[in-house]
Structure 1
Amino acid sequence: MKIIICGAGQVGFGIAERLSQEYNDVSVIDTSATLISAITELLDVRGYVGHGAHPDVLARAGADQADMIIAVTLHDEINMVACQVAHSLFNVPTKIARIRSQSYLQAHYSDLFSRDHMPIDVTISPEVEVGRMVLRRISFPGATDIVRFGDGNIAMLAVECHDDCPVVNTPLQQLSQLFPDLSATVTGIYRHDKIIIPHSSDQILVGDMVYVVCEQDQIRRTLALFGHEEQEARRIVIAGGGNIGFFVAKSLEELQPKTKVKIIENDRERAIAVSDQLHNVIVLQGSALDQNLMIQADVPDAHLMVSLTNNDQTNILASVIAKQLGCDSNLALLNNPSFHDVTKSLGIDAYINPRAVTISRVLQHVRKGRIRSVYAVQKGAAEVVEAEALATSPLVGTPFRDLELPEGIRIGAVYRGESFLRPTGDMKIKTGDRVILFAAASAVRHVEQLFRVSIQYF
């Protein structure tokens, strides 16, 4: 595909890196010559210095031949206009824009981004997406990662297996026999920096990161099976009252009124604004690195410290200080991937990578075939995919035991109607089923083929 990306910041760089690795024809536009120079030196992409919404700049980047434009500059209005120009002047088929301001995203303004008004096919709000992920991690503290599929009825859990994990050294096929009523399937294992697509005879080892697809109602039981029965936090301190911090605090206030939440926000005006919009959340103005302020915020007695400022270093240090003061656990927002590999040694229990969330949303629309949802794991080493089976799919009508799936793919669940179906040897996929599967990066092209739209379909 020929793809134009407007914005060479952290999000734009991450998207360009992933798409160029998959041999797409990628062009990147940014007003900063420094950013363009850096991205063209490091990645196999073309760079153009200029304004992403200007017709002449888009023309130079080849918009007349582009299949997709992804506008992820820091300014909503530039992203919106870039998509409008790409549509009106160059007829670009797919237009994706990052929209940060919640004013544009309110439900009663949903018609704004229709084809007759502002023709944007997909709006991405990283703050909301990341905020929802933070809330899921708070609700299920035993999971290292958790993503929803099948209209929210199916979950993919990433779970670390420690020494006390009850199912280590047990073949996966025995798990099915021991827990026949558990709607969960192990679909992937991350071991020694490598992704493994397991077979039924494989075993889980201590230190593995296991990816499990399960029914929404069975998340807690599945976590317990892998030795994780951590209690949900009831006393939470949030560092950073920006868009993400406010979203998380507001959601906790509405959904979990018994949870005590406090926010530490450095900017005085922002702290006042956040305080005015929250009713049961205490907002303290000052630095999240000020130990006296942390003590005032009762961090030593908190169950969880969530660091959500826009500065990675602040998030790391705030998390470390909180643990030293006695906070039970921490969760940090980390944009820079170079920090991810050192989190354990720094004493950070868990982190969230906002770039990964945004990239996954984009991949959903880059993938060919009837792909409904995509989530990339382990820096793109594998993907969890939800795809719809059409009548022409080679998967339809054949019992699972007879399916000759390409190497690197494991099916975790089938969502039929509103029902979760765990894969069995006798099961057959029907037309219209939504299949949730785990695929190594090398097998993604095979997934696209399995769910491609054949000419026979029309």
Structure 2
Amino acid sequence: MHVLICGAGRVGQGIARKLAREKHEITIIDENAELVDQVSIDLDVRGIVGHAAHPDVLKRARAEDCEMIIAVTHFDEINMVICQIAHTLFSVPFKIARVRDRSYLDLAWKNIFSRDGLPIDMVISPEAEVGDAILQRFRTPGTIMSASFAGGRLKLLGFELAEQNPLIDMPIDQMRGVFPNLSARVIGIGRGTDIRAPRGRDVLKPGDRAYVAVLDAHAERLTSIFNRDQGRLDHVVIVGGGNVGLHVAKILERESHIRVRMIERNVAQANKAVAQVKRSIVIQGDGLNPDILAEAGADRADFVIAITDDDKTNLLISNLAKRAGAKRALALINAPELASLADDMRVDTVLDPRALTVSQVLLRMRRGRILGLQTLEDGRAEVAEGVTLESSSLIGKPIDYDDLPEGVVAAALIRGETVIMPGPDVLVRPEDHLVIFYETEMVRAVEKFFRVNPDYF
């Protein structure tokens, strides 16, 4: 597929890197010549220097031949104009725009992005996605990642295994016998720099990253098994009072027992935050100042969330908070080379906004009836929810640990309103929703599970 990416910033680079790995034809446009050269060399993609909203620049990029355009510049309005021009002048079939300002996304203006409005097929809102991801981490303390499938009825949680974990050295297919009333299933194991789909007799080791599918109603119990010292979170400190911080604070305010303290360096933004929150306390100051952190109560905080617009600042704030006594710290990190420092700096959770955006883009590129997708560990594995058609090769077959091809494992089956954990007696039916973990080398094989089989006719 020929994909045109407008904007060579962190999000654009993240999308380009993933799509280039999958052998798509990528062209990236940016006004910064040095950035375009760097991306072109690093990712082996075609680079065009210019303003992506200018028709002549899109013409040079062969927009008339591309099947998808992804506008992820720093400006919402430019992204919208790019999609409009791509539609009007070049008839690009599928158009994606990054829109950061929440005012455009208000339900009152839902017709903006429609056939009669701006011809944008998919809107990416990174700030809303990041805010929701932070709230998911908050509600599942002790996890290294969290995602939802089946309309929220199924959770995918990631854990780093400590020495005392009860699942250490136990074959993962025995988990159901040890915890018979727990609807949960280990579907991915990360070890070192690798991540793979396990077989039934595989065992977990200390330091492994275990990815577990669990019924939403059982998520709290599962979290307590992996993290026995996790209690209720009452005191939260948010460093960064931008759109993401405000979104998180407003949601947490609805839970009466939670005390939220927000730190914002910019005076105007701090005043804006004061006007928009109800019970949260806003402190104007630098989150890197130990006195400011102490004023916010970071030393007693159950959760410190560092979400400024600077990766290094977020890492340092999280480290300072943990040293002061905070129980847990989350840092928003865009650069993968900085994310690798998290363990050394005592940061419990790193959130990469690019991964959230890439997952949405890949969902639109996957063939077959795939309804949801989450990338894991810099794209080395994915979890997808798809619909099994009548012609699928899975129909009538079991989907336990050793029934699917190497590199693929079933997480759960959703039939109607019921979530069913795979087992030897669970057979796939047409129109089931199947959630599957797979190593990225198995993408094409998994797509076939959810596509019409030509032999069927």
* TM-score band w.r.t. shorter chain: over 0.9
Letter in 2 for 1:405: L
For the structure 1 residues 63 and 454, does the alpha-carbon distance in structure 2 shift closer, same or farther, using more than 3 Å as the test? Answer: farther
Q: Is the 8 A contact 1:40 1:46 kept in 2?
A: yes
Deviation at 1:224, TM superposition (A): 2.5
Residue in structure 2 matched with residue 334 of structure 1 by the alignment: 333
Q: Which residue of 2 aligns with 1:60?
A: 60
The one-letter code matched in structure 2 to 1:316 is L
Match of 2:27 in 1: 27
Partner residue of 1:253?
253
Matched, 1:299 2:286: no
Deviating more after overlay: 122-131 vs 199-208: 199-208
| Coordinate RMSD, CA, aligned | 1.6
Letter in 2 for 1:426: D
CA distance in 2, matches of 1:294, 1:14: 33
**In 1: Cα distance, 2:11 partner to 2:414 partner:** 32
**Cα displacement (A) at 1:196:** 2.6
Task: Please say if residues 264 and 283 of structure 2, whose CA atoms lie closer than 8 Å, have aligned partners that are also in contact.
Answer: yes
CA deviations 1:85-109 (Å, max 9, x no partner) are 1112211111111110001101121
Return the alpha-carbon distance in structure 2 between the equivalents of residues 446 and 116 of structure 1. 38
1:177 and 2:201 matched = no
Q: How far is 1:424 from its partner? A: 1.4
CA displacement at 1:406 relative to structure 2? 2.4
The amino acid that maps onto 1:59 is: K
CA–CA distance in 2 between the matches of 1:105 and 1:194? 38
Between stretches 272-281 and 162-171, larger displacement belongs to 162-171
Amino acid in the other structure paired with 2:152: G
- Which position in structure 2 is the counterpart of 1:361? 360
Aligned partners of 2:400, 2:150: CA distance in 1, in Å?
A: 24
* Distance change >3 Å, CA 199–CA 404, structure 1 → 2: closer
- Asked if 1:399 is matched to 2:395, the reply is no
One-letter identity of the residue aligned with 2:250: K
Matches within 5 A, 1:173-252: 173-252=173-252
Q: For residue 140 of structure 1, what is the aligned residue in structure 2?
A: 140
Match in the other structure for 1:47: 47
Cα pair distance change 1:344/1:399, threshold 3 Å: closer
Counterpart amino acid of 2:169? N
Q: Report the identity percentage.
A: 41
Alignment pair present for 1:76 and 2:76: yes
Question: For 1:342, what is the secondary structure of its paired residue?
Answer: coil
Aligned pairs for 1:106-125 (under 5 A) are 106-125=106-125
Partner AA of 2:145 in structure 1:
D
Give the paired residue count: 457
Pair 1:316-2:308 in alignment: no
In the alignment, which residue of structure 1 is the partner of 2:2? 2
Q: Is the 8 A contact 2:126 2:356 kept in 1?
A: yes
Aligned to 2:383: 384
Deviations along 1:205-242, one digit per CA (max 9) or x if unpaired, are 11111011111111011222334451232111111101
Contact 1:39 1:45 in 2 (8 A): yes
**For residue 248 of structure 1, what is the amino acid of its counterpart?**
V
Report the secondary structure of 1:344's partner residue: coil
Q: CA separation of 1:83/1:457 partners in 2, compared to 1, >3 Å: closer, same or farther?
A: farther
Distance 2:197 2:455 in 1: 32
**1:317 CA displacement:** 1.1
Mapped contact 2:146–2:155 kept (Cα < 8 A): yes
Shift of 1:266: 0.6
Distance 2:52 2:3 in 1: 13
Provide closer, same or farther for how the CA distance between residues 457 and 329 of structure 1 changes in structure 2, counting only shifts above 3 A. same
Deviation at 1:454, TM superposition (A): 4.1
Letter of the 1:398 partner, please give it: K
Is residue 2:347 matched to residue 1:348?
yes
Secondary structure of 1:89's counterpart equals helix
2: CA distance between counterparts of 1:404 and 1:68? 36
Q: What is the SS of the residue equivalent to 1:237?
A: strand
Are the counterparts in 1 of residues 6 and 69 from structure 2 also a CA contact under 8 Å? yes
Q: 1:438 Cα shift?
A: 0.5
Partner residue in 1 for 2:150: 150
For residues 151-199 of structure 1, the C-alpha deviation after alignment (integer angstroms, 9 at most, x for no partner) is 1111111011101211211112221222233211111100122113211
Flag the 1:447–1:228 CA change in 2: closer, same or farther, 3 A.
Answer: farther
Q: Judge conservation of contact 1:143–1:159 (CA < 8 Å) in 2.
A: yes
Structure 1 residue 11: Cα displacement: 0.4
Distance 2:15 2:286 in 1: 32
- For residues 291-333 of structure 1, give each alpha carbon's deviation from its aligned partner in whole angstroms, at most 9, with x where no partner exists: 1111121222222211000001111111111122222221111
Contact 2:199 2:402 in 1 (8 A): no
Distance 1:457 1:8, change over 3 A: farther
The alignment partner of 2:104 has SS state of coil
Match of 1:102 in 2: 102
Q: Identify unmatched segments of 5+ residues in structure 1.
A: none
AA at the equivalent of 1:340: A
Distance 1:363 1:228, change over 3 A: farther
Give the residue type in structure 1 aligned to 2:443.
V
Partner Cα distance (2:119, 2:152) in 1: 27
Distance 2:351 2:407 in 1: 26
Question: Are 2:27 and 2:45, in contact at CA under 8 Å, matched by a contact in 1?
Answer: yes
Distance 1:301 1:4, change over 3 A: same
SS in 1 for 2:382: strand
Cα distance change, pair 396–197 in 1 and its aligned pair in 2 (3 A): same
2:422 is aligned to 423
Whether the aligned pair in 2 keeps the contact of 1:190 and 1:209 (CA below 8 Å) is: yes
TM-score, normalising length: structure 1: 0.97
Aligned match of 1:266: 265
**Which consecutive segments of 4 or more residues in structure 1 shift more than 3 A?**
399-404, 453-458
